[in-house]
Amino acid sequence: MSKIVDLHNYRTKAVEQRAFGPWQKRFDEVYDAKTRLSDLSDKTLFFLAQPGEDSSVAYYEMIMGVLDLGPATKFNYLPTEQQMQVVDIHLFLADHMRFEMMCRLEWLAAHACQKYSIIELVQNHRQMRDDCKANPPGLSASHPGHAT
């Protein structure tokens, strides 16, 4: 008897492995297709919120994995349009990593992309970016700069 293969599940697992395989080695944590920014450890979130080459490479590993563009080491060999796409998504995600950090510090009430998985943020970044522009995060009532 033949074994039935769920193609959607197979594709999801393939994206998970490409996207998060390098992160699991880098951060020694487990991630899957449902992992959201709020699921990241404080240590990982702090690392990804930092500017610089180390965090950029980590973003490129994950983004290029989701988009099936190869390993991060091949970034410089991508066509310019794909490089710009990866950089655009990187900057979008970095902003939201920082928003997530501010939520944990109780400086922000919430941000629009909290409900989406990291993979969804990459796959749908243009739509998400527009949605997030329309609904920027607001200061938490506990923040000293919050207008009363």
Q: Return d(Cα 28, Cα 31) in angstroms, integer.
A: 10
H helix count then E strand count, the chain:
6, 2
pTM for this one? 0.88
Q: Return d(Cα 52, Cα 131) in angstroms, integer.
A: 27
- Percent composition of the chain: helix, strand, coil (DSSP 3-state, to 5): 65, 5, 30
Angle at the Cα of 103 from the Cα atoms of 102 and 109, rounded to 5 degrees: 120
List the structure tokens of 104: 């944990």
Per-residue pLDDT of the chain (148 residues; tens, 9 = 90+): 577 767 878 888 889 999 999 999 999 999 999 999 999 999 999 999 999 999 999 999 999 999 999 999 999 999 999 999 999 999 999 999 999 999 999 888 888 788 899 999 999 999 988 888 888 888 887 777 766 5
Give the DSSP H/E element, type plus range, for residue 110. Answer: strand 108-110
